[in-house]
Structure 1
Amino acid sequence: MITLAHLLDPAALAIVGGGTILGVALRTPLRDLVRAIAALKTLGRARLDGDALLQQIVALGRIAQRHGAMALDRTVIADRDIAASIAAIVDGATASDVALLIRHRRHARIERHVAAAEVWAGAAELAPAMGMVGTLIGLAQMFATMSDPTAIGGAMAIALLATLYGALLANLVFMPIANRLRAQGRNEAFERARIEAPLVALAAREAPRAPLMSVA
């Protein structure tokens, strides 16, 4: 009967896990690697709802209409994209400037999401290859110890379990993480695209008007 203990081999796990980590670290810029690890804490978050952001923008518009754009400088805004846009509006940015700012921040956010997901997708590609490496190492060890029957079992375990670990890590850990990060990125990009129009409209309404030139 096969038990959990029979499926645990530290050597095979070290070859697959360590090789995958090393391969990802060598092929990934440090900044993207740190972002990919930090992105793990977002997996449990609820999907971004753009309606809440739109409601906040409407409320900010009412404040600006009643008390002027300078009153927005004293409001507490948790969302960074909205906060940056409101700061630009308070500083007198035009509607086109605000639109460029929002699009730039959205595209930068998309690039960060894509980079984090690609790191985990790369790990999913490397894990089976490292499993094959472990299998070859186990087979080489097995052939090298053919004269010692007691050593053949351990070498064969490495050869078989390394392939198993590579397949499991790729398909049950790394690729699901990559797919969830991609899904979150698509959802956030779509929801954040909705806030561009109302922020641009607010900027157009609150932009300082140039004084009319008097004709002599």
Structure 2
Amino acid sequence: MADIADVSGYVLQMAEAARRNGPLTLQPLMKDKGVEPLQARAIELVVDGIAAEDVERILRTEIEAQQARSRHGAAVLRRASEVAPAMGLIGTLVGLVQMLGNLQDPSAIGPAMAISLLTTFYGALVGNMALAPLAGKLERNTDAQAIVDTLFMLGAISIARQENPRRLEMMMNTVLPPELRLNHYD
């Protein structure tokens, strides 16, 4: 995932280049290996001369679909983090049943009790130390990627409309967090 500050400056540079030399100057960027998928798609639409309204509709649909997929993955991880401790408790019950079933053999009580305690520990550990943080990270990355993708979309729309890059900067500043806002033309 690209850095939001770098992307905002890069999109503005693309818009300035397209305004000076025309949108076809962006065509070599489509084949660049470092280009993000949505960025390549945005450039492709602009270079092909698609109307700005259609560019916005297509890219917005792609952004929303990607966010939905990512949010679904995060929801699965979040639910698994909630269920993991319960699975540990089920393991504890199994261990207790095993322990109570072998009360006549004192040497079996210790290992069965260990299994009971370990399953609770592992359930809590997996849920709270692995799955919940992964879900949170996926949610944060999804939000950051949505900003990056929105910046590419705004740039493509602006280029398709042949707008002044100053207007694009103002539009991007509505999406950017205050600490990352551009002041290129101030």
Task: Tell whether 2:111 aligns with 1:154.
Answer: yes
How many residues of Structure 1 are paired with residues of Structure 2 in the alignment?
160
Q: 2:51 aligns with which of 72, 79, 94?
A: 94
CA contact (8 A) 1:72 1:90 kept: yes
1:64 counterpart residue number: 18
Tell me the secondary structure at the aligned position of residue 162 of structure 2: helix
TM-score normalized with structure 1 length: 0.67
TM-score normalized with structure 2 length: 0.76
> Could you tell me which amino acid in structure 2 is paired with residue 50 of structure 1?
I
Partners of 2:118 and 2:62 in 1: CA distance: 45
> Could you tell me which amino acid in structure 2 is paired with residue 128 of structure 1?
P
Structural mapping, 1:6-25, within 5 Å = none
Q: Share of identical aligned residues, percent?
A: 34
Partners of 2:138 and 2:22 in 1: CA distance: 40
> Could you tell me which amino acid in structure 2 is paired with residue 118 of structure 1?
A
Partners of 1:74 and 1:157 in 2: CA distance: 63
Q: 1:202 aligns with which of 141, 159, 173?
A: 159
- State the 1:49 CA deviation: 2.9
1:21 counterpart residue number: none
Give ranges in structure 1 of 5+ residues lacking alignment.
Answer: 1-44, 207-216
Higher alpha-carbon Rg: 1
CA contact (8 A) 1:69 1:90 kept: yes
Partners of 2:73 and 2:152 in 1: CA distance: 24
- State the 1:65 CA deviation: 3.3
- State the 1:203 CA deviation: 0.6
Q: Structure 1's 158 and 180: CA in aligned 2 closer, same or farther, altered over 3 A?
A: same
Partners of 1:196 and 1:70 in 2: CA distance: 17
Q: 2:144 aligns with which of 164, 187, 210?
A: 187
- State the 1:81 CA deviation: 1.2
RMSD: 2.1
- State the 1:139 CA deviation: 1.0
Give ranges in structure 2 of 5+ residues lacking alignment.
Answer: 164-186
Partners of 2:24 and 2:144 in 1: CA distance: 33
